Chains A and B, each alone.
Chain A
Amino acid sequence: MDIAKRRQLLPIVAFTVLTVLTAAGLSALSAQTAERIVANQRAWDMRQINELLSAAEYDNDVFSDVIAVGSADPDVQLLGPGAPHEILRATQNGQPVAVIVRVTAANGYSGPIDLLVAIYADGTLAGVRTARHRETPGLGDRIEITRSAWITGFNGRSLQDPAVEDWAIRRDDGVFDQITGASVTSRAVTSAIRDALRYFEAHKASVFAAQNAAGDSAQ
Protein backbone atom coordinates (compact mmCIF):
# COMPACT_ATOMS: atom_id res chain seq x y z
CA MET A 1 0.00 0.00 0.00
CA ASP A 2 1.48 3.38 -0.92
CA ILE A 3 1.98 6.22 1.50
CA ALA A 4 -1.01 8.24 0.30
CA LYS A 5 -3.45 5.38 0.78
CA ARG A 6 -2.03 4.67 4.23
CA ARG A 7 -2.43 8.34 5.18
CA GLN A 8 -6.07 8.20 4.21
CA LEU A 9 -6.67 4.94 6.01
CA LEU A 10 -5.06 5.80 9.33
CA PRO A 11 -7.68 8.26 10.58
CA ILE A 12 -10.46 5.83 9.69
CA VAL A 13 -8.74 3.03 11.54
CA ALA A 14 -8.16 5.31 14.50
CA PHE A 15 -11.82 6.36 14.50
CA THR A 16 -12.99 2.76 14.34
CA VAL A 17 -10.73 1.78 17.20
CA LEU A 18 -12.01 4.71 19.24
CA THR A 19 -15.60 3.70 18.55
CA VAL A 20 -14.99 0.10 19.60
CA LEU A 21 -13.22 1.24 22.76
CA THR A 22 -16.05 3.61 23.65
CA ALA A 23 -18.69 0.94 23.09
CA ALA A 24 -16.73 -1.57 25.14
CA GLY A 25 -16.19 0.91 27.94
CA LEU A 26 -19.85 1.85 28.11
CA SER A 27 -20.95 -1.81 28.05
CA ALA A 28 -18.64 -2.56 30.94
CA LEU A 29 -19.91 0.43 32.89
CA SER A 30 -23.49 -0.52 32.20
CA ALA A 31 -22.93 -4.10 33.34
CA GLN A 32 -21.19 -2.93 36.50
CA THR A 33 -23.99 -0.60 37.53
CA ALA A 34 -26.99 -2.56 36.27
CA GLU A 35 -27.74 -4.20 39.60
CA ARG A 36 -27.56 -0.95 41.48
CA ILE A 37 -29.82 0.81 39.02
CA VAL A 38 -32.45 -1.92 39.16
CA ALA A 39 -32.34 -1.70 42.95
CA ASN A 40 -32.80 2.07 42.79
CA GLN A 41 -35.78 1.74 40.47
CA ARG A 42 -37.27 -0.91 42.72
CA ALA A 43 -36.77 1.30 45.79
CA TRP A 44 -38.47 4.15 44.00
CA ASP A 45 -41.45 2.02 43.02
CA MET A 46 -41.56 0.63 46.55
CA ARG A 47 -41.74 4.12 48.00
CA GLN A 48 -44.74 4.86 45.83
CA ILE A 49 -46.43 1.62 46.88
CA ASN A 50 -45.69 2.28 50.55
CA GLU A 51 -47.54 5.54 50.35
CA LEU A 52 -50.60 3.63 49.28
CA LEU A 53 -50.46 0.42 51.31
CA SER A 54 -48.64 -0.04 54.59
CA ALA A 55 -46.21 -2.94 54.64
CA ALA A 56 -48.14 -4.58 57.47
CA GLU A 57 -51.14 -5.14 55.26
CA TYR A 58 -49.57 -7.63 52.87
CA ASP A 59 -46.82 -10.22 52.91
CA ASN A 60 -46.09 -11.02 49.28
CA ASP A 61 -43.61 -9.42 46.91
CA VAL A 62 -46.00 -7.20 44.95
CA PHE A 63 -43.53 -6.74 42.13
CA SER A 64 -43.44 -10.46 41.40
CA ASP A 65 -47.20 -10.82 41.63
CA VAL A 66 -48.29 -8.97 38.55
CA ILE A 67 -50.81 -9.53 35.83
CA ALA A 68 -51.16 -7.49 32.69
CA VAL A 69 -54.45 -6.41 31.16
CA GLY A 70 -53.94 -6.51 27.41
CA SER A 71 -55.93 -5.26 24.46
CA ALA A 72 -57.79 -8.57 24.27
CA ASP A 73 -59.72 -7.64 27.39
CA PRO A 74 -63.10 -6.10 26.46
CA ASP A 75 -62.92 -3.55 29.31
CA VAL A 76 -59.31 -2.53 28.80
CA GLN A 77 -60.30 0.99 27.72
CA LEU A 78 -61.46 1.65 31.28
CA LEU A 79 -57.81 1.64 32.22
CA GLY A 80 -56.96 4.22 29.60
CA PRO A 81 -54.72 4.13 26.54
CA GLY A 82 -51.39 2.37 26.54
CA ALA A 83 -52.34 -1.29 27.03
CA PRO A 84 -51.15 -3.57 28.48
CA HIS A 85 -51.83 -2.19 31.94
CA GLU A 86 -50.15 -3.80 34.91
CA ILE A 87 -52.03 -4.81 38.05
CA LEU A 88 -49.89 -5.59 41.07
CA ARG A 89 -51.58 -7.83 43.60
CA ALA A 90 -51.07 -7.63 47.34
CA THR A 91 -52.00 -10.67 49.41
CA GLN A 92 -51.73 -11.72 53.06
CA ASN A 93 -51.39 -15.48 53.67
CA GLY A 94 -52.52 -16.04 50.11
CA GLN A 95 -55.74 -14.07 50.68
CA PRO A 96 -56.42 -11.07 48.41
CA VAL A 97 -55.79 -7.78 50.18
CA ALA A 98 -55.51 -5.11 47.51
CA VAL A 99 -54.46 -4.35 43.98
CA ILE A 100 -52.43 -1.51 42.53
CA VAL A 101 -53.57 -0.70 39.04
CA ARG A 102 -51.49 1.34 36.63
CA VAL A 103 -53.96 3.45 34.68
CA THR A 104 -53.58 6.28 32.22
CA ALA A 105 -55.85 9.31 32.09
CA ALA A 106 -55.91 10.28 28.43
CA ASN A 107 -57.39 13.75 28.80
CA GLY A 108 -54.85 15.58 30.90
CA TYR A 109 -54.26 19.22 30.02
CA SER A 110 -50.80 18.64 28.53
CA GLY A 111 -51.06 14.96 27.67
CA PRO A 112 -51.75 11.61 29.34
CA ILE A 113 -51.38 11.23 33.09
CA ASP A 114 -50.11 7.90 34.48
CA LEU A 115 -51.58 7.00 37.86
CA LEU A 116 -51.14 4.28 40.47
CA VAL A 117 -54.58 3.41 41.88
CA ALA A 118 -54.60 1.20 44.97
CA ILE A 119 -57.92 -0.56 45.63
CA TYR A 120 -58.71 -2.84 48.55
CA ALA A 121 -60.36 -6.18 47.85
CA ASP A 122 -63.69 -4.81 49.02
CA GLY A 123 -63.60 -2.05 46.41
CA THR A 124 -62.62 0.91 48.58
CA LEU A 125 -59.73 3.08 47.46
CA ALA A 126 -56.53 2.79 49.47
CA GLY A 127 -55.16 5.79 47.64
CA VAL A 128 -53.90 7.22 44.36
CA ARG A 129 -50.53 8.60 43.30
CA THR A 130 -49.24 10.11 40.07
CA ALA A 131 -46.55 8.14 38.29
CA ARG A 132 -45.91 10.41 35.35
CA HIS A 133 -47.46 13.56 33.90
CA ARG A 134 -46.68 16.80 32.10
CA GLU A 135 -49.25 19.08 33.69
CA THR A 136 -48.59 22.76 34.25
CA PRO A 137 -46.35 23.53 37.22
CA GLY A 138 -48.27 25.36 39.91
CA LEU A 139 -51.65 24.45 38.47
CA GLY A 140 -52.18 20.90 37.15
CA ASP A 141 -49.14 19.55 38.96
CA ARG A 142 -51.03 19.97 42.23
CA ILE A 143 -52.26 16.41 41.59
CA GLU A 144 -48.85 15.37 42.92
CA ILE A 145 -48.72 14.59 46.60
CA THR A 146 -45.60 16.76 46.96
CA ARG A 147 -47.50 19.81 45.69
CA SER A 148 -50.83 19.50 47.45
CA ALA A 149 -53.02 17.07 49.36
CA TRP A 150 -55.75 17.08 46.71
CA ILE A 151 -55.08 13.49 45.63
CA THR A 152 -55.69 12.22 49.18
CA GLY A 153 -59.29 13.30 48.83
CA PHE A 154 -59.94 10.00 47.08
CA ASN A 155 -58.77 7.83 49.99
CA GLY A 156 -61.48 5.54 51.30
CA ARG A 157 -63.87 6.32 48.47
CA SER A 158 -65.61 3.65 46.43
CA LEU A 159 -68.26 3.26 43.75
CA GLN A 160 -70.89 3.48 46.48
CA ASP A 161 -69.29 6.53 48.07
CA PRO A 162 -70.21 8.54 46.10
CA ALA A 163 -72.58 6.81 43.66
CA VAL A 164 -71.25 6.32 40.16
CA GLU A 165 -73.25 9.29 38.80
CA ASP A 166 -71.63 11.61 41.33
CA TRP A 167 -68.08 10.49 40.55
CA ALA A 168 -67.07 13.76 38.92
CA ILE A 169 -65.77 17.20 39.80
CA ARG A 170 -68.15 19.80 41.23
CA ARG A 171 -68.27 21.67 37.96
CA ASP A 172 -69.65 18.51 36.31
CA ASP A 173 -72.27 18.03 39.08
CA GLY A 174 -70.11 15.64 41.04
CA VAL A 175 -68.88 15.75 44.61
CA PHE A 176 -65.12 16.21 44.14
CA ASP A 177 -63.56 19.65 44.40
CA GLN A 178 -61.50 20.49 41.37
CA ILE A 179 -58.08 22.09 41.69
CA THR A 180 -58.57 25.82 41.24
CA GLY A 181 -57.52 26.76 37.73
CA ALA A 182 -56.95 23.14 36.74
CA SER A 183 -60.37 21.70 36.07
CA VAL A 184 -59.23 19.81 32.96
CA THR A 185 -56.57 18.00 34.95
CA SER A 186 -58.92 17.38 37.86
CA ARG A 187 -61.59 16.01 35.55
CA ALA A 188 -59.14 13.66 33.81
CA VAL A 189 -57.82 12.22 37.06
CA THR A 190 -61.25 11.86 38.64
CA SER A 191 -62.70 9.97 35.70
CA ALA A 192 -59.62 7.75 35.42
CA ILE A 193 -60.00 6.74 39.08
CA ARG A 194 -63.71 6.11 38.64
CA ASP A 195 -63.04 3.91 35.60
CA ALA A 196 -60.35 1.98 37.45
CA LEU A 197 -62.89 1.26 40.19
CA ARG A 198 -65.41 0.17 37.56
CA TYR A 199 -62.88 -2.20 35.99
CA PHE A 200 -62.04 -3.69 39.37
CA GLU A 201 -65.68 -4.16 40.26
CA ALA A 202 -66.33 -6.03 37.01
CA HIS A 203 -63.20 -8.18 37.09
CA LYS A 204 -62.35 -8.53 40.78
CA ALA A 205 -62.56 -12.30 40.91
CA SER A 206 -60.54 -12.94 37.77
CA VAL A 207 -57.91 -10.36 38.70
CA PHE A 208 -57.04 -12.29 41.83
CA ALA A 209 -57.51 -15.72 40.28
CA ALA A 210 -55.46 -15.09 37.15
CA GLN A 211 -52.16 -16.88 36.80
CA ASN A 212 -49.22 -14.86 37.95
CA ALA A 213 -47.29 -14.17 34.79
CA ALA A 214 -46.76 -10.64 33.50
CA GLY A 215 -47.87 -10.57 29.90
CA ASP A 216 -50.94 -12.79 30.33
CA SER A 217 -54.24 -11.02 29.88
CA ALA A 218 -56.75 -11.21 32.68
CA GLN A 219 -59.89 -12.95 31.43
Chain B
Amino acid sequence: MTSLSWRRVLLDGLWRQNPGLVQLLGLCPLLAVTTTTAYGLGLGLSTLLVLSCSGLLVSLTRRWVAPHIRIPVFVLIIAGLVTAVDILMQAWVFELHRVLGLFVPLIVTNCAIIARAEAFASRQVAGYAVLDGIAHGTGFAVVLIVMGFVRELLGAGTVFADMDMLFGPLAATWKIHVHEGFLLMILPPGAFFVLAALVAARNAVVARTLQSTNRESAPVVTSTS
Protein backbone atom coordinates (compact mmCIF):
# COMPACT_ATOMS: atom_id res chain seq x y z
CA MET B 1 0.00 0.00 0.00
CA THR B 2 1.37 3.41 -0.86
CA SER B 3 2.11 5.65 2.04
CA LEU B 4 -0.86 7.26 3.69
CA SER B 5 -1.01 10.90 4.60
CA TRP B 6 -3.86 13.11 5.69
CA ARG B 7 -3.43 15.07 2.49
CA ARG B 8 -3.84 12.00 0.35
CA VAL B 9 -6.86 10.85 2.30
CA LEU B 10 -8.51 14.26 1.86
CA LEU B 11 -7.75 14.45 -1.83
CA ASP B 12 -9.10 10.96 -2.42
CA GLY B 13 -12.42 11.66 -0.78
CA LEU B 14 -12.93 15.12 -2.21
CA TRP B 15 -11.72 14.63 -5.74
CA ARG B 16 -10.02 11.42 -6.86
CA GLN B 17 -12.62 9.04 -5.49
CA ASN B 18 -15.54 11.42 -5.08
CA PRO B 19 -18.57 9.25 -4.25
CA GLY B 20 -20.97 11.20 -6.42
CA LEU B 21 -18.86 11.99 -9.49
CA VAL B 22 -16.31 9.20 -9.67
CA GLN B 23 -17.52 6.18 -7.75
CA LEU B 24 -21.13 7.05 -8.69
CA LEU B 25 -22.44 5.70 -5.39
CA GLY B 26 -25.47 6.98 -3.49
CA LEU B 27 -27.13 8.05 -6.74
CA CYS B 28 -30.64 7.46 -5.46
CA PRO B 29 -30.63 10.27 -2.89
CA LEU B 30 -28.36 12.33 -5.14
CA LEU B 31 -30.88 12.42 -7.93
CA ALA B 32 -34.07 12.49 -5.86
CA VAL B 33 -33.36 15.04 -3.18
CA THR B 34 -31.40 17.78 -4.95
CA THR B 35 -34.34 19.95 -6.00
CA THR B 36 -33.11 22.86 -3.91
CA THR B 37 -29.80 23.88 -2.37
CA ALA B 38 -31.32 23.55 1.10
CA TYR B 39 -32.39 19.92 0.64
CA GLY B 40 -29.04 18.98 -0.88
CA LEU B 41 -27.25 20.67 1.99
CA GLY B 42 -29.47 18.97 4.57
CA LEU B 43 -28.96 15.48 3.22
CA GLY B 44 -25.28 16.18 2.55
CA LEU B 45 -24.65 17.15 6.16
CA SER B 46 -26.53 14.08 7.43
CA THR B 47 -24.53 11.75 5.19
CA LEU B 48 -21.28 13.48 6.18
CA LEU B 49 -22.11 12.97 9.86
CA VAL B 50 -22.91 9.28 9.33
CA LEU B 51 -19.78 8.70 7.23
CA SER B 52 -17.47 10.31 9.78
CA CYS B 53 -18.98 8.56 12.79
CA SER B 54 -19.12 5.19 11.05
CA GLY B 55 -15.45 5.60 10.12
CA LEU B 56 -14.65 6.23 13.76
CA LEU B 57 -16.71 3.37 15.15
CA VAL B 58 -15.72 0.80 12.53
CA SER B 59 -12.08 1.65 13.11
CA LEU B 60 -12.34 1.52 16.90
CA THR B 61 -14.05 -1.88 16.88
CA ARG B 62 -11.89 -3.46 14.16
CA ARG B 63 -9.91 -5.63 16.56
CA TRP B 64 -12.96 -7.41 17.90
CA VAL B 65 -14.67 -8.01 14.58
CA ALA B 66 -13.84 -11.35 13.00
CA PRO B 67 -13.78 -11.29 9.18
CA HIS B 68 -16.76 -13.54 8.77
CA ILE B 69 -19.12 -11.31 10.74
CA ARG B 70 -17.75 -7.95 9.63
CA ILE B 71 -20.61 -7.10 7.26
CA PRO B 72 -23.38 -7.51 9.87
CA VAL B 73 -21.31 -5.43 12.26
CA PHE B 74 -20.87 -2.65 9.70
CA VAL B 75 -24.58 -2.70 8.93
CA LEU B 76 -25.37 -2.53 12.65
CA ILE B 77 -23.10 0.45 13.16
CA ILE B 78 -24.36 2.32 10.10
CA ALA B 79 -28.03 1.59 10.79
CA GLY B 80 -27.61 2.67 14.41
CA LEU B 81 -26.01 5.94 13.32
CA VAL B 82 -28.65 6.66 10.69
CA THR B 83 -31.43 5.96 13.20
CA ALA B 84 -29.79 8.41 15.58
CA VAL B 85 -29.49 11.03 12.83
CA ASP B 86 -33.13 10.44 11.88
CA ILE B 87 -34.28 11.01 15.47
CA LEU B 88 -32.10 14.09 15.87
CA MET B 89 -33.44 15.59 12.65
CA GLN B 90 -37.01 15.08 13.81
CA ALA B 91 -36.15 16.85 17.02
CA TRP B 92 -34.17 19.79 15.59
CA VAL B 93 -35.06 20.29 11.92
CA PHE B 94 -38.56 18.86 11.78
CA GLU B 95 -39.73 20.53 8.58
CA LEU B 96 -36.61 19.55 6.66
CA HIS B 97 -37.01 15.99 7.90
CA ARG B 98 -40.59 16.04 6.63
CA VAL B 99 -39.45 17.21 3.22
CA LEU B 100 -36.57 14.73 2.92
CA GLY B 101 -38.91 12.01 4.15
CA LEU B 102 -37.83 8.55 3.08
CA PHE B 103 -34.31 9.60 2.11
CA VAL B 104 -33.04 10.07 5.65
CA PRO B 105 -33.49 6.40 6.64
CA LEU B 106 -32.29 5.45 3.15
CA ILE B 107 -28.84 6.82 4.00
CA VAL B 108 -28.30 3.29 5.38
CA THR B 109 -28.42 1.93 1.83
CA ASN B 110 -25.92 4.48 0.51
CA CYS B 111 -23.22 2.19 -0.83
CA ALA B 112 -20.55 4.82 -0.28
CA ILE B 113 -20.78 4.34 3.47
CA ILE B 114 -20.38 0.61 3.70
CA ALA B 115 -17.77 0.74 0.93
CA ARG B 116 -15.58 3.05 3.03
CA ALA B 117 -16.12 0.89 6.10
CA GLU B 118 -15.05 -2.23 4.25
CA ALA B 119 -12.24 -0.78 2.15
CA PHE B 120 -10.70 1.67 4.57
CA ALA B 121 -12.03 2.20 8.08
CA SER B 122 -11.78 -1.45 9.08
CA ARG B 123 -8.07 -1.41 8.21
CA GLN B 124 -6.91 1.94 9.49
CA VAL B 125 -6.41 3.75 12.75
CA ALA B 126 -9.23 5.90 14.02
CA GLY B 127 -7.64 9.19 13.00
CA TYR B 128 -7.36 8.30 9.32
CA ALA B 129 -10.74 6.57 9.32
CA VAL B 130 -12.51 9.66 10.60
CA LEU B 131 -10.63 11.87 8.14
CA ASP B 132 -11.58 9.55 5.32
CA GLY B 133 -15.21 9.70 6.38
CA ILE B 134 -15.08 13.48 6.51
CA ALA B 135 -13.40 13.67 3.11
CA HIS B 136 -15.84 11.37 1.34
CA GLY B 137 -18.79 12.89 3.15
CA THR B 138 -17.73 16.39 2.19
CA GLY B 139 -17.09 15.32 -1.39
CA PHE B 140 -20.58 13.88 -1.58
CA ALA B 141 -22.12 16.87 0.16
CA VAL B 142 -20.48 19.29 -2.27
CA VAL B 143 -21.99 17.42 -5.20
CA LEU B 144 -25.40 17.44 -3.50
CA ILE B 145 -25.17 21.18 -2.88
CA VAL B 146 -24.03 22.04 -6.40
CA MET B 147 -26.70 19.87 -7.98
CA GLY B 148 -29.32 21.32 -5.68
CA PHE B 149 -28.25 24.85 -6.55
CA VAL B 150 -28.24 24.27 -10.32
CA ARG B 151 -31.52 22.36 -10.41
CA GLU B 152 -33.24 24.89 -8.19
CA LEU B 153 -32.01 27.84 -10.25
CA LEU B 154 -32.92 26.28 -13.59
CA GLY B 155 -35.99 24.30 -12.51
CA ALA B 156 -37.76 26.48 -9.95
CA GLY B 157 -36.18 29.78 -10.84
CA THR B 158 -35.16 30.51 -7.25
CA VAL B 159 -31.98 30.64 -5.22
CA PHE B 160 -31.83 29.52 -1.57
CA ALA B 161 -35.52 28.72 -1.19
CA ASP B 162 -36.49 26.86 2.00
CA MET B 163 -33.22 27.72 3.74
CA ASP B 164 -35.25 28.54 6.83
CA MET B 165 -35.79 24.80 7.31
CA LEU B 166 -32.10 24.50 8.15
CA PHE B 167 -31.12 27.87 9.56
CA GLY B 168 -34.23 29.22 11.22
CA PRO B 169 -36.83 31.84 10.26
CA LEU B 170 -34.31 34.57 9.44
CA ALA B 171 -32.95 32.53 6.57
CA ALA B 172 -36.27 32.83 4.78
CA THR B 173 -35.07 36.24 3.60
CA TRP B 174 -32.23 34.65 1.63
CA LYS B 175 -34.57 33.47 -1.07
CA ILE B 176 -34.24 35.18 -4.44
CA HIS B 177 -36.80 34.63 -7.15
CA VAL B 178 -35.16 34.90 -10.56
CA HIS B 179 -37.55 33.48 -13.13
CA GLU B 180 -40.44 31.08 -13.53
CA GLY B 181 -38.30 28.01 -13.90
CA PHE B 182 -37.96 25.23 -16.46
CA LEU B 183 -39.94 22.38 -14.91
CA LEU B 184 -37.91 19.54 -16.41
CA MET B 185 -34.90 20.38 -14.28
CA ILE B 186 -36.62 19.56 -11.01
CA LEU B 187 -38.01 16.31 -12.39
CA PRO B 188 -35.90 13.14 -12.60
CA PRO B 189 -34.64 13.70 -16.17
CA GLY B 190 -33.23 17.04 -15.11
CA ALA B 191 -31.34 15.33 -12.31
CA PHE B 192 -29.65 13.00 -14.76
CA PHE B 193 -28.77 15.87 -17.09
CA VAL B 194 -27.16 17.91 -14.33
CA LEU B 195 -25.25 14.95 -12.91
CA ALA B 196 -23.99 14.05 -16.39
CA ALA B 197 -22.83 17.62 -16.89
CA LEU B 198 -20.98 17.61 -13.57
CA VAL B 199 -19.29 14.28 -14.29
CA ALA B 200 -18.31 15.50 -17.75
CA ALA B 201 -16.94 18.71 -16.30
CA ARG B 202 -14.83 16.83 -13.79
CA ASN B 203 -13.54 14.50 -16.50
CA ALA B 204 -12.66 17.48 -18.66
CA VAL B 205 -10.69 19.05 -15.83
CA VAL B 206 -8.82 15.81 -15.22
CA ALA B 207 -8.08 15.35 -18.91
CA ARG B 208 -6.78 18.90 -19.20
CA THR B 209 -4.50 18.51 -16.18
CA LEU B 210 -3.20 15.26 -17.59
CA GLN B 211 -2.57 16.92 -20.93
CA SER B 212 -0.59 19.78 -19.45
CA THR B 213 1.51 17.45 -17.27
CA ASN B 214 2.27 15.28 -20.29
CA ARG B 215 3.30 18.28 -22.32
CA GLU B 216 5.68 19.39 -19.59
CA SER B 217 7.40 16.05 -19.25
CA ALA B 218 7.50 15.03 -22.90
CA PRO B 219 10.80 15.58 -24.65
CA VAL B 220 10.85 18.38 -27.19
CA VAL B 221 11.10 16.91 -30.65
CA THR B 222 13.21 18.86 -33.12
CA SER B 223 13.42 17.83 -36.74
CA THR B 224 16.78 17.37 -38.18
CA SER B 225 17.02 17.91 -41.84
Binding site for B on A (CB under 8 A): 10-12, 14-15, 18-19, 22, 25-26, 29-30, 33, 36-37, 40-41, 43-44, 137-138
Contact assessment for B94 and A11 in the assembled complex, using a CB-CB cutoff below 8 Å: no
CA distance A145 to B189 in the complex (A): 26
Flag if A26 contacts B80 (CB, 8 Å).
yes
A25 CA / B90 CA spacing, docked (Å): 17
B91 CB within 8 Å of chain A: yes
From A10, A26, A37, A138, B64 is in contact (CB under 8 Å) with A10
Q: B interface, by DSSP: helix, strand, loop or mixed?
A: helix
CA distance A207 to B41 in the complex (A): 46
Residues A33 and B88 in contact, CB atoms below 8 Å apart: yes
Map CB proximity to A onto B63-87 as digits: 1 under 8 Å, 0 otherwise. Answer: 0111011001100110010011001
A88 to B222, CA, bound (A): 89
Interface of A is mostly: helix
7 shortest interchain CB distances as A-B pairs: A11-B66, A40-B94, A33-B91, A22-B80, A14-B64, A138-B183, A36-B91
**Residues from chain A with Cβ under 8 Å of B153 in the complex:** none
Report B-chain residues with C-beta under 8 Å of the C-beta of A41. 94
Bound complex: CA A18 to CA B84 (Å): 15
Residue B145 at the chain A interface, CB threshold 8 Å: no
A44-B95 in contact (CB<8A)? yes
Q: How far is the CB of A120 from chain B (nearest CB, A)?
A: 29
Chain A residues in 8 Å Cβ range of B94? 37, 40-41, 43-44
Q: Interface residue count for B (Cβ, 8 Å)?
A: 25
Most chain-B Cβ atoms within 10 A of its Cβ — which of A10, A11, A25? Answer: A11
Residue on A nearest B186 in the bound complex, by CB: A137
* Set of chain B residues within 8 Å of A22, measured between Cβ atoms: 76-77, 80
Counting CB contacts under 8 A, is B98 at the interface?
yes
Chain A to chain B contacts (Cβ below 8 Å), 5 pairs:
A10-B64, A22-B80, A37-B90, A40-B94, A41-B94
Q: Find chain B residues with CB under 8 A from A33 CB.
A: 87-88, 90-91
Contact for B83 among A18, A26, A43, CB less than 8 A: A26
Asked whether, in the complex, the Cβ of A12 is within 8 Å of the Cβ of B83, the reply is no
Closest B-chain residue to A19, C-beta based?
B76
- Which residue in chain B gives the minimum CB-CB distance to A12? B69
With a CB–CB cut-off of 8 A, which chain B residues contact A29?
Answer: 84, 87-88
Q: In the complex, which residues of chain B have a beta carbon less than 8 angstroms from the beta carbon of A19?
A: 76
What is the chain B residue whose CB lies nearest that of A36?
A: B91
